Structure 1
Amino acid sequence: MALLELLGMGQKGWGAYLLLATVTTLAVTATALAIGAVLGTAIAAAKLSHSRSLRFVGHVYTTVFRGVPELLIIYLIYFGGSSGITAIGQWLGYDGFLGLPSFAAGALAVGIISGAYQAEVFRGAYHAIPRGEIEAALAIGMNRGLRFRRIIMPQVLRFAIPGLGNVWQLSLKDSALVSVTGLVELMRASQIASGSTRQYFLFYIVGGALYLVLTSLSDRVFNGAERRANRSMSGATIGRA
């Protein structure tokens, strides 16, 4: 079969299948990044807390989920979650196996991993804020909520953008591991296409090329966001001056 026919959008081509899988990969990664942002914010706040117990919880979270292999976490979430749902179903009178949806399990697992890295990104971004600005806000009587909204959050987001770009790339690559749950994302689609056609080299190269396209476009997006954030901050500084 001709190369263009194999990669085309026709009935015998795998192009549409691979593109749909690419969209699934982006959806898993975006969902995981959102979950990780919520978890990362909470864990960063815990690690910055004056409470020793909260700092300990934050330290344990980042140590465990940055140290344990990603694939193991995916297995624990997928199979452990399915076992838990099945147990609840049996308690409610349902006789049978209830599996956790592959997309939900994959996004949650990658999100938990992402949260550990995002927590460190947010914590580092907070420490990068000039102490004088926070002290000035305290001096003029800003309450905690206003201080967070006007001083801390804008600058944390500004300083965190490069690190979040790295976390996005990490999550994008980790999404390939979600294929073990049966979800047809880009890696799984490449595997299916290559196994069906016996064109292993071709479809794995195409899959790798699509990952490179995604990472290259992601770099441009995060670099643009960083430049815009820096311009906005410079403009705000000039305005205050």
Structure 2
Amino acid sequence: MFLEGYGPLIASGTWATVKLALLSLAASVLIGLVGASAKLSANRALRGLATGYTTLIRSIPDLVIMLLLFYSIQMLLNEFTEYLQLEQIDIDPFVAGVVTLAFIYGAYFTETFRGAFQSVPRGQLEAAVAYGMGPWKVFRRVLFPQMMRFALPGIGNNWQVLIKATALVSIIGLSDVVKATQDAGKGSMQFFYFTVVGALIYLAITTVSNVALMRLERRYSVGVRKAEL
């Protein structure tokens, strides 16, 4: 058989990887928007906090951060439950993966959005305010559409790296593509074959992602490319 009977296991792992990546992306984008706003804020404390966050996270390997966060939080929970004489609470690997990846890649999205915000001509924002638009309408109708045009290449790059980083979550017990294919390889004694299967699954996910990102770039570049011609 093509997958030696391990098809359901690999399919489940693939779905777990896709969910992990999408939820981590959503949380990373949210953190990135907040972080970019903080770095561009007039408040020195907010700027310092955001700068410290991005500098620290981008300077430490993802694997090290993941292990530090997962095990340190688990140790704190163990001490807390022991102090209150409660049953031990084990962190769910999926939740831990989402939180950790979002925390890590939120730093990269912060820099992506910061650069994109700064690329939008300030005169257009001032014109929108002069026209009578409120802050939310200025953001929704003027700032965000133009910011996305500048941010999409960086978003695409961060997303591709984030997808690959989901493989790290297998070390804390999540049954993702990597763990599923490894288990299948060990069980069938065809470790290399199932490693290739895992690689092809990641390739398929990134290929579909590239198509979606290309369409988004076309959407947010409507009118711009025509003007350049």
Q: Same fold (TM over 0.5)?
A: yes
| Aligned with 1:67 (options 56, 59, 65) | 59
> What secondary structure is seen at the aligned counterpart in 2 of 1:27?
helix
- Structure 2 residue 14 is matched with structure 1 residue 22: yes
Residues of 2 paired with 1:27 and 1:52: CA distance? 37
Report the alpha carbon displacement of residue 219 of structure 1 after superposing the two structures with TM: 0.4
> What secondary structure is seen at the aligned counterpart in 1 of 2:221?
helix
Partner of residue 140, structure 1: 131
> What secondary structure is seen at the aligned counterpart in 1 of 2:90?
coil
Residues of 1 paired with 2:146 and 2:100: CA distance? 29
| Aligned with 1:76 (options 68, 79, 86) | 68
Aligned residue pairs total: 226
Partner of residue 49, structure 2: 57
8 Å contact from structure 2 (residues 182, 194) kept in 1: yes
> What secondary structure is seen at the aligned counterpart in 2 of 1:94?
coil
8 Å contact from structure 2 (residues 13, 180) kept in 1: yes
**Deviates further, 12-21 or 59-68:** 12-21
Partner of residue 201, structure 1: 192
Report the alpha carbon displacement of residue 130 of structure 1 after superposing the two structures with TM: 1.7
Alignment of 1:118-197 (within 5 A): 118-197=109-188
- Structure 2 residue 101 is matched with structure 1 residue 110: yes
- Structure 2: which amino acid aligns with 1:202? Y
- Structure 2: which amino acid aligns with 1:89? T
8 Å contact from structure 1 (residues 66, 116) kept in 2: yes
Report the alpha carbon displacement of residue 160 of structure 1 after superposing the two structures with TM: 1.8
8 Å contact from structure 1 (residues 83, 99) kept in 2: no
- Structure 2 residue 223 is matched with structure 1 residue 223: no
Q: Which runs of 5 or more residues in structure 1 are unaligned? A: none
> What secondary structure is seen at the aligned counterpart in 1 of 2:182?
helix
Report the alpha carbon displacement of residue 6 of structure 1 after superposing the two structures with TM: 4.7
Report the alpha carbon displacement of residue 226 of structure 1 after superposing the two structures with TM: 1.3
8 Å contact from structure 1 (residues 6, 14) kept in 2: no
- Structure 2: which amino acid aligns with 1:79? Y
Report the alpha carbon displacement of residue 141 of structure 1 after superposing the two structures with TM: 4.4
Residues of 2 paired with 1:123 and 1:187: CA distance? 33
| Aligned with 1:43 (options 14, 22, 35) | 35
Residues of 1 paired with 2:132 and 2:203: CA distance? 50
TM, length-normalised to structure 2: 0.92
Residues of 2 paired with 1:41 and 1:151: CA distance? 16
Q: Map Cα deviations across residues 41-93 of structure 1 (whole Å, 9 max, x no partner).
A: 11101100112221111111111111111011111221112112222222332
> What secondary structure is seen at the aligned counterpart in 2 of 1:100?
coil
Superposed CA RMSD in Å reads 1.9
Residues of 2 paired with 1:123 and 1:69: CA distance? 22
8 Å contact from structure 2 (residues 81, 89) kept in 1: yes
TM, length-normalised to structure 1: 0.87
Q: Map Cα deviations across residues 108-147 of structure 1 (whole Å, 9 max, x no partner).
A: 1111111011111111111111222122124334443332
Relative contact order higher in (CA < 8 Å, ≥ 6 apart): 2
